[in-house]
A and B are shown apart, each in its own frame.
Chain A
Amino acid sequence: MVSQHSGLTNVAQWGRLYVRNDEAGKALSPIEMVNPGYYILFKNVESCGCLSKGHLQNKLTEVKMDLNLSREHEMLRDMVKEFADNELAPRALELDNKGEFFWEQVKRSGQLGLMGVINSKEYGGTAMGHLARMILIEEISRVYPPLGFFHQTGNLLMYAIETFGSDEQKKKYLPALCKGEKVSALALTEATGGSDPANMQTEATLEGDDYVVNGRKSWISAVDPADFVGFVARTGDKFSAFIVEKGTPGFEVTRREETIGLRSLPVNEFALTNCRLPKENLIGEEGRGLASALTTIATIGRTGAAGVGLGIARGCYEIALKFAKERVLYGKPIAALQAIQFMLTDMNVEIEAAKWLCYSTAWQLDQGKTSRDLAVDIARCKLYAVDVANRCAYKAVDIMGAYGLSPEYRVIGLLRDALELGVAAGSQEVMKITIGATITR
């Protein structure tokens, strides 16, 4: 029966195909074969000539794809959702207008154990992992993207110290960062271009037991409020990563950029002028700094940006959907109009797709795969989630008409915030380069 259909070799690529015992011998139509919900159990393996035997067993094996989140992840989502709806949402517009760093919200985030989800318990973290982090960033960003984005940037140095730092560094910096009592930043970008880090000019020269650093970093999130700033500098013909603490002579925040979105998250330029840093401030080995920084940005920055994108997309979708169901024109809610339904449908489909790209990537990180193994997955989820966020925000503004342009209704603010995601943790084009180069190798 099976060998009659030439399309079968394609089917084998799906990995599992079974024929129910009572239906063995029944001819399969092409539709039945391509329908992914149709599982059939083969009575015995020999009767299917062209299917790869390695894919088949002669009894039904486990279908190993449980898409349910664990109980703990569900509880985490519920908790963050409540935190976001009750404590962040009422103040989102006000904080956005004020444009100042949201210390209170960061501390609260730390109190709830959200800041240190990728840090170990030994240093004050909660070690719940990358999927947990994706979920919490998503739920926060749905309502107040600046805090979600801050989880993206603020976690960078926390991960770098945890992964590459010394025990002393972990003990010194991590506990306060996990509690949200202190905040950090990680600086790679300079005037020479964030997408071209190998050409950076900031230099650190070893003098005795200290490094003397000169240079200038730009477009770095949250340097002004930061207590600790990690950065990468040239050491000879290689690169190294360092920590500089606020108040260190020679370290000065020189500028705050005006940004169109994420307005309460300062974006700064800072200068290092003959700044002396003891050897203890070197993160990891000398010469391995760029590699460490890029790993950090991939593992933490890109996944974080993806989470913010997911959150913004869903936030816009939920607001637009609620609006469409309540707004009455021509005697009925506009949700009854096809044009509106089509826009909402596009959003719905893209958000679902982005969600699974993001969650599966985060889950694989939790399984122990490295950012190197997952370079394409990570780039892909950031690329897609950010594009989806921008598209959904724009559609939401569209659906809501004049209300969509009014800050009070939030979607225009979410659109402005979405615009900032493109260049975060590597631009969208850098994501494409990462993927394109890898798949064509």
Chain B
Amino acid sequence: MSNSGEIWVIGEQRRGKLEEVSLELLSKGTALSQGVGVTLSSVLLGDEVEEVARELVFHGAEKVYLLEDARLRYYQSEAYTSLLAGVIKEHKPQIILIGATEIGKELAPKVAAKLGTGLTAHCIDLYVGEVDAAPHLIHVVPGWGGNLVMHIICPQKRPQVVTVKPGVLPKPVRDENKKGKIIRVKPDVRDQDFSRIETVGVVEEPPKGKALESADVVVCGGWGMNALGDFSKVQELADILGGAVAGTRPAMDKGWVDEARMIGQSGKTVSPGLFVSLGASGAMHYTTGFMGSKVVLAVDQNPQAPIFQMADIGVVGDLCEVLPCLIEELKKDRGG
């Protein structure tokens, strides 16, 4: 940690729309930069994305380095990597935050390796703390076994790079009155950056069913749903609550949910207003997927299941009895 060197959030835009995670990172970025006393900046690559750069300012970026070129319209692996490495080498930020989207998960390690620096993936928190009597940025990641987390630091190499999954950090408030500088950097886009690898198209497929990331209620079924044979009651409960359906890894392996709806360390992270866990015992790599939820309701037949440590409200009982009863009670409550 030093008091020179900016904190950067790499903004990710697709088709002129900013990824939510970039905004979430700005809230953490603001907290960190104020604490350390340095500038919070953002970097944005794309084509005709000045509007997007302004959004970054409205969400807390004091500066935005804007690199625009027609050839950068879509994510281009080599071009983006070398351009980012270039601006980083020039401006020497000390900390870089990148969203762990499908693209971010590839871009972050390429940039970090190009710069020979440290990268920590999937942080669930970041703050400045003391290690061996010196201030360090602590990268908090889920640990193994029970309720443990690990603290990681990058003591020497700079910049230190961290990624955070979408849905982990809160979104900052948008304020159009916020002022920030948009610095246009003319990107040196070379033919050779496209000779070995080039993105030639993007196809978007809207998700089937209610989107997980934006749902205010998520109903997640686990291995215990075996007792009922299928996921129909999970869907029914989700429908009544106006929520999205999700599953644990065992549920995905069983074919009840797609990989896109799997909650957990290697799957999705959600922070809805209400998270309902049905028949999942509560292993750490599952629970990190919903840690940020406001209220957690857990139902399981085993009173010793670790999930009850991670819940606000716990119901011990046979899913075959509890679920239909819960659905009925909610119908009564809603329908009258």
Contacts and interface: CB of A to CB of B under 8 A. Distances in A.
B303 interface: yes
A326 interface: yes
B33 interface: no
Contacts of A331: 303
Interface in B220-273: none
A332 B304 CA distance: 8
Interface in A316-336: 326, 328, 331-333
B300 to A, nearest CB: 10
A423 to B, nearest CB: 36
A328 B227 CA distance: 14
Contacts of B304: 332
Nearest to B302: A328
B302 A326 contact: yes
B301 interface: yes
Interface string B293-325: 000000001111000000000000000000000
Nearest to B318: A328
B302 to A, nearest CB: 6
Nearest to A327: B301
Interface string A307-350: 00000000000000000001010011100000000000000000
Contacts of A332: 304
A381 B1 CA distance: 70
Nearest to B301: A328
A326 B319 CA distance: 14
Contacts of A333: 302
B317 to A, nearest CB: 10
Interface string B275-305: 0000000000000000000000000011110
- Residue among A326, A328, A332, A333 having the largest count of chain B Cβ atoms under 10 Å: A328
A328 B300 CA distance: 11
B121 to A, nearest CB: 30
Contacts of B302: 326, 328, 333
Contacts of A328: 301-303
A225 to B, nearest CB: 31
A5 to B, nearest CB: 51
Interface residues of B, number: 4
A326 B304 CA distance: 11
A404 to B, nearest CB: 16
A328 B224 CA distance: 13
B253 to A, nearest CB: 10
Interface string A357-393: 0000000000000000000000000000000000000
A333 B304 CA distance: 10
A332 B301 CA distance: 10
A333 B303 CA distance: 10
B307 to A, nearest CB: 14
Nearest to B304: A332
A332 B303 CA distance: 8
B243 to A, nearest CB: 28
Contacts of A326: 302
A324 to B, nearest CB: 13
A194 B303 CA distance: 55
Contacts of B301: 328
Nearest to B281: A326
B245 to A, nearest CB: 23
A328 B303 CA distance: 9
Interface string A53-72: 00000000000000000000
Nearest to B229: A408
B295 to A, nearest CB: 26
A328 B316 CA distance: 11
Nearest to B223: A326
Nearest to A326: B302
B308 to A, nearest CB: 13
- Residue among B301, B302, B303 having the largest count of chain A Cβ atoms under 10 Å: B302
Nearest to B300: A328
A328 B317 CA distance: 10
A177 B171 CA distance: 66
Interface string A119-156: 00000000000000000000000000000000000000
A243 B302 CA distance: 59
Contacts of B303: 328, 331
B65 to A, nearest CB: 51
Nearest to A408: B229
Interface string A87-130: 00000000000000000000000000000000000000000000
A328 B301 CA distance: 8
A331 B304 CA distance: 9
B224 to A, nearest CB: 9
Nearest to A331: B303
Nearest to A333: B302
A91 to B, nearest CB: 14
A406 to B, nearest CB: 12
A328 B305 CA distance: 11
A48 to B, nearest CB: 53
A325 to B, nearest CB: 10
A332 B302 CA distance: 8
A326 B279 CA distance: 12
B156 to A, nearest CB: 43
Nearest to B305: A328
B144 to A, nearest CB: 22
A322 to B, nearest CB: 12
A331 B302 CA distance: 8
A305 to B, nearest CB: 33
B117 to A, nearest CB: 40
A302 B30 CA distance: 75
B252 to A, nearest CB: 15
A272 B304 CA distance: 65
A24 to B, nearest CB: 49
Interface in B31-83: none
Interface string B98-120: 00000000000000000000000
A15 to B, nearest CB: 46
B306 to A, nearest CB: 14
A86 to B, nearest CB: 10
Nearest to A325: B302
B80 to A, nearest CB: 40
A374 B304 CA distance: 52
B331 to A, nearest CB: 28
A363 B221 CA distance: 47
The 3 closest A-B pairs by CB, nearest first: A328-B302, A328-B301, A331-B303
Interface of B: 301-304
7 contacts: A326-B302, A328-B301, A328-B302, A328-B303, A331-B303, A332-B304, A333-B302
